[in-house]
Structure 1
Amino acid sequence: MASNPPTEVLAKPEDADMLAKMGYAQELKRNFSKFEVLGIAFAIMGLLPSIASTLTFSIPAGPAGMVWGWFITSGFIFVVGLAMSDLGSAMPTAGGLYWWTHHFSAPRYKNPLSFLVGYSNTLGLVGGLCSIDYGFALMLVSVIVLVTDGAFVPTNGIIYCVFLGCVISHGFVVMFASKVNIMGKMQTVFTIANLVLIAATFVVLPVGRKGERNSAKYVFTETANLTGWPSGWAFFLAWLSPIWTIGGFDSCVHISEEAKNASLAVPWGILGSIGLCWSLGFLCCIVIASCMSTDLESILNTPFGQPMAQIYYDAVGRKGAIIMMTFLFLTQWLMGISILLASSRQAWAFSRDGALPFSKFFSKISKRFGHTPIRCVWGCAGLACVLGLLCLIASAAASALFSLCAAGNNFAWFMPIFARLVWGRDKFVPGPFYTGKFSIPIAIVACIFLVFSTLLAMMPVTGPDVTPETMNYTVVVNCAVWGGALAYYFINARKWFTGPKMTINAEQLTEEQERKMMEDRSLDVKRDSVSGGKKDLGDIKASKRPETGDV
């Protein structure tokens, strides 16, 4: 008599237990090692391509503004990472930011704030995908301009078509890489690719500008102001480059249900990725400032459409610039794969808790594609294609894609840290990583910085006298997101959204565990959510569940 094939083990007992304590069944397969968790964040940050995409923020403040703006801002972002690592180690779940907000907030506010954070984080991550792929499109067409000696003039329509192809290609890569369970290993490849590009630039620019390199005094002390703002504010605007670049560290939280030993892997990934970008980014800014032309306006107004293309061109000529920019946009393309992965996990977690439209459809897990939420992958890709239509309006509207990511995610990072400070200090139980007596001061500094950086992302870059072409549409886009989410909640969702749901079979819990979870989270208990009757929490395996679908 043939025996049934063994069920596939999704997680080790300790990881399954940790997730079960938060009310969730293990549905995703834990394939990511500690280094691969760091790798997904570092790959999303895509250090050099991101610096290249945001030089229009930093160059107007001069070389000193670029260099010291990076160093100071990265330090503040590291503080935010410490505050998030405390939470991520204690409660590692894919929907961490809105879950933590609900857990720590006062009863009166927990549902609307959790709902708002979930939408802000989801759309912020999709906005990050848009901004990365839009940056890719600009870099690719800049190479074509270089190849044709300026004969090719890209239109907004052409840029959007390149953007569209990029997003769709990412969807297919994530889908099929998940099928063969290599997404984790790919993050290591992406990390190496980023480091190789940085090393190549460290060689190419100084060698190409030999005899023309700028002095240390110029690099570290020379300021400028090519904006309409006072010089001090122009320096702050240079902070937007690291704020946007080092913005992928929350991906470690969203991948936590696929990470082995998540309580340590999540803080390791957050702090490791920020630390690498802090140090290597500082060096990148020094090298660029040392080797770029002192005519800053010519760099910003380059006919190639990309300041970094002009910097490479000045150093190594047309052919060398083509080669380096090709490497640059290929690395940028890799970034999009990783952020689509992270955004799909956040969208899936939010759908699992019933908060997104068509949640029953998007919360399905595909066993055929490696126990991953493929429907959410394509849902996020489709939404990115719609948001990318801003490319067709004007460059100012397209720049809102960058700031949608920064402002949306900043708010999502701020809220759980703030909720813990104000309402939830007594509810916080530290995980293996904990900053101890410094935890509260770190959280306070993190909150202050996140408020400031959110306001900064909404300011017009060129000056206070704005036109439709120079307007920063971030305030419009984000207020529409936040206002729309709150309106949706109070008009309709408040009738059915009660916060994170419990998907683990209640029969697996002791009476004390169930009572405590019900008190803390007002959980909607689904006693039949995991088929197969009673199971040991440490023996969670892939099984046929009514709500697990396939595509």
Structure 2
Amino acid sequence: MAQFETKDGGDLESSLQGSTKEVTDTVVTPVLAKSFNLFSACATGITTGNAWAVLGGGIIASLYNGGPPGIIYEFATASFFYCFIAASIAELASAIPASGGVYHWATITAGPRYGRLCGWFAGWLNGLAWAFAVAGNCSMTGSMIVYSYALYHPGFTPQRWHVFVCYLIISWLCCFTVMFCQRALPLISRIGSFFIVLGFIITVLVCAIMPSKNGAGYASNDFVWKDWSNITGYPDGFTFLAGMLNGAFAIGAIDCVTHIAEEIPDARRNIPRALACQVIIGFATGFCYLVSMFYAVTDLPFIVNADSICPLGDIYLQATGSRAGAVGLLTLTIAPIFCATIGCYITTGRTFYVLGRDDATPFSKYIGAISPTWHSPLYATLACGVFLTCVGAIYVGSYTAFEAFIGSFVLLTTASYFLAIFPHLLTGRKNIRPGPFWMGKAGPVVNAVACMYIAVSFVIYCFPYTLPTSPEEMNYTSVITCGLTLLVALWWSPSRSPTATAITHIENQPYIKDTMAGPVQAPRKQTKRIRQTKQKSVTFTGSRKVKCDERQQDGCGVCQKSGLECAGYGVNLCWMTDKKRDIQGLRRRQIRLEQSTSPSISDDEINRILSSLDTISTPSRTVSIGPFAIFSKSEHDDNEDLELQASLENSHQTRDCDSEITPSQFDPVDLSSEIFDIIPNESETSHPEILEMDFSSNWESVIAMMDTPNSPTLSYLRGRSLTIYPSPHSELSMPLFKDHKTSTLMYHYKNHVSELLQPVFHPRNPWRTTYLPFALEGCPDLCLVQNTIPSSGVSISLFHSILSSAAFHLRNVMGGSREYHNLGLQHRAKALRALKFALVAPNNSQQYTVYLTAMLSLVTIDTMTGEDSDFPIHLKGCRQLQRPDHASDALDDSSRQVSSICHFLSLLARTTAHELEPRPWTIEGPFFEEPYFHDDDTNIQYMYGITPYLGNLLQKTCQIAEYLAFYQDGEMPAILLEACSALYDEIFSWGIESESFHLISLEEPTMLEIIRYQALAFHSAIAIFYYRAIENSSPVDLQERVGAIWKNLSLAEDLKDAYSCGDKRAAPMSWPAFIAACEATDRQPWVAWWERVQGYSMGNFKRQWKVIQEIWSIMNSDENVVNWRDALKQSGKLVLPI
């Protein structure tokens, strides 16, 4: 049995792209190879549409509705209206190129409330329609083959089972071609398009030439263009509308190309082009084919009354006057229809593959899989072949029933189109963002015309073909359409809710969220602006006017190059001479009104800023207020500045809010705006004795130099901006880093980011004492350190990772600074690149620790950004990293810390995974895996605010839940039930008194209290997770646990605010808050708590809060979802609640 690749929901985006990912991806990550180009895509559309051959194959049904003029005009009218449908589909495909086609579009355009329902019906109806198109092509081809045989065997009487045998052969040939010739499909499409064009040209030429050669002559112009022949019994107007059915069947296969969107490069542009090519060529070939063929018909009543198995063969026989000519033209029709059947199989298989990939079909595990051997949706195509064999069997039993199934193609396809286009129109076309093909203001008109045509034709095509009617001649298409719709609705019923709601995750993919982010505006046309010729005005010196250009650090240099002496003016001036200068940055930047580059400030805020400036009489420090950074120069001498700096440092060391600098002193100048500047002091004097120090062996000395008085003191006050204090003269006159931005980011990481990553202050902070020394070994910008050994790629990766973390945090604090956002992206890309080319296997235990630290630092980047879901990839890499065999078991403190971080993050990731990883219990081995945290690994107390015992307790809970997932549908071992009972007793017998927090010194009682509150909250969260993952029940006391978590975490935050005077530095470990908020019924306290912690400016907190709100929304809208873990799975979001 071949192995199949299925879509992993966790593998969403690569770390390298991060938050800069473009919205050019499809709804889900494609796993099919991009084997089609624009030409082969157009060939697929032309081949699958195959308008002229399909018109000929079903010509007899149209002859009843007006004769030759009726067929020609009805085909032209149907083609005209299908242009509106094609344009609407092309617009949706350009915005959302997805193999599901209307299935995905209907899900998105209908919005979050009705999207799942519309998408469900659109996907199923469209897939069934294409299946019936295959059946129609196979039956037409089989009829032509049997007719050709009968022409040369006069005694042969065609039977329906003869056609059925040909039907089966053609169907399975096409099915196996699609299943096992995936790489040859583009070539087959090109060959098919060649046969279509060749057959069209030869057929038209033969029909145009042969009547004059065999003496039959041509039909009159009136016969072709004017003689209306209505034998249906309906009025002529209604007959004309009903006669458009055959034209719609021929031209209506317009969405076939959209189902190979994942296999076409630049699908957003190429799919609309392929659709246009298909519609234009289909109409042109169909129209010319009809005209030439009817001019060759001389005895129309004979064809209508012959009751032939292939009326097209009779037309060719009249046109050529010979059996060989008729069989030759039929062969030229059979070959294109055979290729078209392959195209229809491609479309049908892709449609049901996408439905299966989203758990919307039976046996979705197989239907939604891609064969790695054949690189095709093997089982989806095979299922279509089996289904079409059953449909073909109906042809033998009842031709009327079979014709009803085939005729429902038009109704089912237009219904699926309607489910995507009509919600798009009703919602004001605002649920998707425009693609390259966007109709702008004409879009609503085009969509409205398409919907009206679909609605009218849907009713008319359900009427009987003729009046009076009989049971054998009745039109049962409406019965088939309604019956199939009812079956699809029953599959959606609550009794099958897991399958019915399986497509919910489509709404939550990154691209879909982006498309539904807000109102859509059509892209503006870029028109060239014509500059007005202005009178050149000059200054009193006779030169042209000047402008200020302070962006240049060394001045503009224009005066010196022109041989003039700079006149001053107190600013750098740029002379606007006619001669072009080779000066960078002289051009003014265009400011777009719709893209504000500065923060908006309300009138009240401006008034408050001005009032605060008025209150400053003799400022003792530099003040930064508002977005324009207004500075007031200090009038005191340097000694007073040093005293102020010392007092600030003492205030941070003692955390005494009653010191001489109190929060009240910040009120006049520290504003609520989150805009701030970082101005480190850069001195240029030389201290040569510093260069003689050996820092390469003692990185602590380098780290200590980051805290010199010339470093900027950054204070995060809750609800206030980051205030900058003066930088007095320092004894260290040489900068530590060559690059100013590196210095800023490194300082910010050491003094702010590292503190945010653990819930309490502690001198053994691993993000400062372990991460930073390892990172400095890979720093290329140190002025003072000259390593004799080249830096390893792992250290370089770690260095760029911590800079990226610092940059992203600064971006968050500064309200989305583009500069720091770009810096974060650049350093993250460099970190990934360096780690990629580093050694695969570490040679010793220290190198192993560095490797592990580098991988974990990538998780830290995700924690700061909150925009990515790459942490499963990084944590998987950490688990797969093998420790050297000869490494010592006695780990140092740094190795223990890094190992504990890896274990704890992996543990939290297991609790929020969409599916628990089933694992069987083996009798040979121990029941529980080796504990992550040993009793002496107490560093987890200050790193995450929990104890080793609680960490191991959560590990056991996850492991038993994974055991239960494996035995969910089978007999459960008795030992597993005993383990559940023992774990229950172990969880609910725990008490805080049994824990020892000896690593937190008694001199820091506040830190000890914070850890106690964090541990109590963590224990209550374990109890909730136990019930949801193991018991899967909702006892009464769960809300008591939720309340206990909120109380303990709130008390911890209150203590930190009092201890740090409002500074947001030590962020809480948020797993208990995430679990409790998801479980809570009284949600308002959690709204306040999560909004409170947003002050830490950590992107992960923002992401968790959004996911919690989405879980609440799902549980509110769907009464069947009572477990927040099921709601998290429906949301499709991955979250690491740390």
TM-score where L is the length of structure 2 = 0.43
| Structure 2 match to 1:7 | none
Higher helix share: 1
Displacement of 1:56: 1.7
Matches of 1:226 and 1:328 in 2, distance apart?
Answer: 28
Q: Percent identity?
A: 22
Matches of 2:317 and 2:25 in 1, distance apart?
Answer: 56
Change (3 A) 1:493 1:420: farther
8 Å CA contact retained: 2:52, 2:282:
no
Displacement of 1:349: 0.6
| Structure 2 match to 1:136 | 141
8 Å CA contact retained: 2:366, 2:380:
no
Displacement of 1:20: 7.6
8 Å CA contact retained: 1:95, 1:346:
yes
Superposed counterparts of 1:16-95, under 5 Å: 22-60=26-64, 61-95=66-100
8 Å CA contact retained: 2:108, 2:432:
no
| Structure 1 match to 2:495 | 492
Matches of 1:474 and 1:436 in 2, distance apart?
Answer: 37
Give SS of 1:425's match: coil
Matches of 1:140 and 1:17 in 2, distance apart?
Answer: 53
Matches of 2:380 and 2:28 in 1, distance apart?
Answer: 18
Matches of 2:204 and 2:504 in 1, distance apart?
Answer: 47
Task: Describe the superposition over 1:324-367 as per-residue Cα deviations: whole angstroms up to 9, x where unpaired.
Answer: 11222222111111110111001001111111111111111111
Change (3 A) 1:496 1:332: closer
The residue type paired with residue 128 of structure 1 is: A
Superposed counterparts of 1:214-253, under 5 Å: 214-253=219-258
Change (3 A) 1:367 1:496: closer
Displacement of 1:488: 2.1
Which of 517, 521, 524 pairs up with 2:1130? 524
Displacement of 1:109: 2.4
Change (3 A) 1:83 1:508: farther
| Structure 2 match to 1:386 | 390
Unaligned ranges ≥5, structure 1: 1-12, 529-551
Whether 1:292 and 2:292 are equivalent positions in the alignment is no
Whether 1:377 and 2:381 are equivalent positions in the alignment is yes
Superposed counterparts of 1:431-446, under 5 Å: 431-446=435-450
| Structure 1 match to 2:280 | 275
Which of 189, 192, 195 pairs up with 2:191? 189
Matches of 1:64 and 1:312 in 2, distance apart?
Answer: 19
Matches of 1:25 and 1:196 in 2, distance apart?
Answer: 38
8 Å CA contact retained: 2:195, 2:335:
no
| Structure 2 match to 1:451 | 455
Whether 1:469 and 2:472 are equivalent positions in the alignment is yes
Matches of 2:85 and 2:383 in 1, distance apart?
Answer: 29
The residue type paired with residue 507 of structure 1 is: S
Whether 1:111 and 2:112 are equivalent positions in the alignment is no
Whether 1:407 and 2:411 are equivalent positions in the alignment is yes
Structure 1 ranges of 4+ moved more than 4 A: 16-23, 502-506, 508-516, 518-523, 525-528
| Structure 2 match to 1:169 | 173
Change (3 A) 1:19 1:106: closer
Give SS of 2:1130's match: coil
Matches of 1:23 and 1:330 in 2, distance apart?
Answer: 36
The residue type paired with residue 95 of structure 1 is: G
Matches of 1:102 and 1:177 in 2, distance apart?
Answer: 32
8 Å CA contact retained: 1:397, 1:472:
no
Change (3 A) 1:427 1:138: same
| Structure 1 match to 2:347 | 342
Displacement of 1:504: 7.5
TM-score where L is the length of structure 1 = 0.87
Change (3 A) 1:319 1:449: same
> RCO (CA 8 Å, sep 6+): is it higher in 1 or 2?
1
| Structure 1 match to 2:163 | 159
Task: Describe the superposition over 1:260-286 as per-residue Cα deviations: whole angstroms up to 9, x where unpaired.
Answer: 110011111112101111122111111
Matches of 2:23 and 2:492 in 1, distance apart?
Answer: 27
The residue type paired with residue 471 of structure 1 is: M
Task: Describe the superposition over 1:425-459 as per-residue Cα deviations: whole angstroms up to 9, x where unpaired.
Answer: 22231100111211110000001111222223322
Change (3 A) 1:496 1:329: closer
Matches of 2:498 and 2:338 in 1, distance apart?
Answer: 42
8 Å CA contact retained: 1:57, 1:240:
no
| Structure 2 match to 1:545 | none
| Structure 2 match to 1:314 | 318
Q: Which has the larger radius of gyration?
A: 2
Matches of 1:88 and 1:513 in 2, distance apart?
Answer: 30
Matches of 2:132 and 2:416 in 1, distance apart?
Answer: 13
Which of 395, 401, 410 pairs up with 1:397? 401
Deviates more, 1:39-48 or 1:24-33: 39-48
Displacement of 1:199: 0.3
Change (3 A) 1:513 1:417: farther
The residue type paired with residue 223 of structure 1 is: W
| Structure 2 match to 1:481 | 484
Matches of 1:132 and 1:106 in 2, distance apart?
Answer: 36
Task: Describe the superposition over 1:201-233 as per-residue Cα deviations: whole angstroms up to 9, x where unpaired.
Answer: 111112111261123333121210122222222
Displacement of 1:75: 0.7
8 Å CA contact retained: 2:74, 2:240:
yes
Give SS of 1:407's match: helix
Matches of 1:128 and 1:121 in 2, distance apart?
Answer: 11
Matches of 2:420 and 2:387 in 1, distance apart?
Answer: 26
8 Å CA contact retained: 2:52, 2:285:
no
Matches of 1:146 and 1:382 in 2, distance apart?
Answer: 32
Displacement of 1:395: 2.6
Matches of 2:21 and 2:153 in 1, distance apart?
Answer: 59
Change (3 A) 1:19 1:492: farther
User: Aligned residue pairs: how many?
Assistant: 512
Matches of 1:443 and 1:246 in 2, distance apart?
Answer: 18
8 Å CA contact retained: 1:36, 1:185:
yes
Matches of 1:273 and 1:161 in 2, distance apart?
Answer: 31
| Structure 2 match to 1:3 | none
Task: Describe the superposition over 1:302-323 as per-residue Cα deviations: whole angstroms up to 9, x where unpaired.
Answer: 3642221111111211121111
8 Å CA contact retained: 2:391, 2:402:
no
8 Å CA contact retained: 1:39, 1:191:
yes
The residue type paired with residue 473 of structure 1 is: Y
Whether 1:507 and 2:869 are equivalent positions in the alignment is yes
Matches of 1:203 and 1:22 in 2, distance apart?
Answer: 44
| Structure 1 match to 2:211 | 209
Deviates more, 1:31-40 or 1:344-353: 31-40
Matches of 2:870 and 2:211 in 1, distance apart?
Answer: 66
Displacement of 1:492: 2.7
Change (3 A) 1:296 1:227: farther
The residue type paired with residue 266 of structure 1 is: I
Displacement of 1:501: 2.8
Displacement of 1:401: 3.0
